[in-house]
């Protein structure tokens, strides 16, 4: 017998799971997502990716500003869900909401808990140079990503893989994991194991103040910083272009041989010295322009060897 599922999610990362739950034959009775927000040049209201997918499938969509009201609790209870599935929703579920479903509230989290609890686990794992990460299905409780874990899928992080690339892989991996968890829950065989107390780290939301590239770091740290912030919000540095300092995003890099002053341009292929070793800039983006390969970038921007990037 199919489960009655209330789904809560907002960004692209959550769409794959919503699709997987629907295609597994479960009855998604309602979708909760963040309210449309003004975006783009015309500042027209834009629905979240989950909102768009839910409407395409004819599923009722709710966009409450908070779940901390009696009305929100009663509204969810009216759908009589067997389980609530939460994937990057963006609102905190208070105890009254957690108690509504017949079984529990399940959360898909993009890390190997207890490492990287919090808002930006994928980016933080890449920025830290972690060799491995994964996704976990956990039972939600009041603490931040502290609940017991039911299922885990681990995957290596490629040495040049960006957060965006990893995000897409984990979204697909997580979708299958949630579908499997619901199958086990339906069959009465979903078991939970408490998280360990050791190795807890927190993945704080990315702050714009930490996006500037620090060339005084070793090449490995600079490379991990660049790929961990790609494609959004993007690591950046200042380059002297046409006699003017210009902020340029770096969206992909590679470790390279070379030595020099931190930030020094070592050749005509945009190899940049760090405190130890060097990185080669592979994909760049000027303000108001599309991202482009370094060779294309250099056709319209002269960066002299010996210059020092800030």
pLDDT < 70: residue spans in the chain: 1, 40-43
pLDDT recorded at residue 153 = 98
Partnered with residue 83 across adjacent β-strands are 5, 104
CA 169 to centroid of chain Cα atoms:
11
Which pLDDT score is estimated for 89? 97
Judge contact between 252 and 293, C-beta under 8 A.
no
What pLDDT, on the 0 to 100 scale, is given for residue 42?
67
State how far the Cα of 166 lies from the Cα of 220, in Å rounded to an integer: 18
Reported residue count of the chain is 310
What does the alpha-carbon distance between residue 185 and residue 176 come to, in Å, rounded to a whole number? 14
Residue pair 256/271 in contact (Cβ under 8 Å)? The answer is yes
The predicted structure's pLDDT at residue 242? 77
HEC string of 245-293 equals EEEEEEEEEEEECCCCCCCEECCCCCEEECCCCEEEEEEEEECCCCCEE
User: Tokens 């130890």 — which residue?
Assistant: 276
For residue 26, the model assigns a pLDDT of 97
Residues 141 and 92: their CA atoms lie apart, in Å, by: 10
Report how far residue 260's alpha carbon sits from residue 283's, in angstroms, rounded to the nearest whole number: 22
Beta bridge partners, 156, equal 132
Torsions phi, psi for 138 (to 5 deg): -130, 155
DSSP-based three-state secondary structure for 205: coil
Q: What is the pTM for the complete model shown? A: 0.94
Proportion of the chain in helix, strand, coil states, percent, rounded to 5: 25, 30, 45
pLDDT of residue 302: 81
Query: For residue range 260-289, what is the model confidence (pLDDT) as tens digits?
Result: 999 999 998 999 999 999 999 999 999 889
Q: DSSP string of 97-108?
A: HHTSSSSEEEEE
Q: If you compute the radius of gyration of the chain from its CA atoms, what whole number of angstroms results?
A: 22
Q: Which domains does the chain have, with CATH numbers?
A: 4-202 (3.40.50.170), 208-299 (3.10.25.10)
What is the structure's pLDDT at 44? 77
Joined together, the tokens standing for residue 124 give 């933080």
């Amino acid at each position: 017998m199919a489960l009655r599922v209330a789904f809560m999610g907002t960004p692209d990362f959550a769409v794959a799971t919503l699709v997987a739950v629907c295609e597994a034959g479960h009855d998604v009775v309602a979708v909760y997502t963040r309210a449309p927000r003004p975006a783009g040049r015309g500042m027209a209201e834009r629905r979240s990716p989950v909102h768009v997918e839910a409407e395409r499938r004819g599923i009722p969509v709710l966009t409450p500003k908070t779940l901390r009201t009696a009305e929100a609790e009663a509204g969810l209870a009216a759908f009589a869900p067997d389980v609530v599935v939460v994937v990057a929703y963006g609102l905190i579920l208070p105890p009254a909401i957690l108690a509504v479903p017949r079984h529990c509230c399940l959360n898909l989290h993009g890390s190997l808990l207890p490492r990287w609890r919090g808002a930006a686990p994928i980016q933080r794992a890449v920025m830290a140079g972690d060799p491995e990460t994964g996704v976990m299905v956990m039972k939600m409780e009041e603490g931040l990503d502290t609940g017991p874990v039911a299922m885990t899928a681990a995957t290596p992080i490629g040495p040049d893989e960006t957060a965006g690339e990893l995000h897409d892989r984990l979204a697909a991996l997580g979708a299958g994991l949630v579908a499997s968890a619901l199958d086990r829950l339906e069959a009465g065989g979903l078991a939970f194991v408490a998280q360990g107390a050791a190795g807890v780290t927190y993945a704080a939301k990315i702050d714009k103040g930490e996006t500037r590239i620090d060339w005084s770091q070793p090449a490995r740290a600079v490379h991990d910083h660049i790929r961990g912030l790609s494609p959004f919000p993007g690591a950046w540095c200042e380059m002297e272009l046409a006699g003017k300092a210009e902020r340029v995003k770096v969206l992909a890099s590679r470790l390279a041989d070379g030595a020099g002053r931190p930030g020094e341009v070592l050749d005509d292929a945009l190899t940049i010295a760090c405190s130890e070793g060097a990185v080669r800039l592979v994909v760049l983006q000027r303000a108001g322009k599309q991202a482009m390969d370094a060779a294309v970038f250099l056709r319209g921007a002269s960066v002299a060897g010996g210059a020092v990037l800030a």
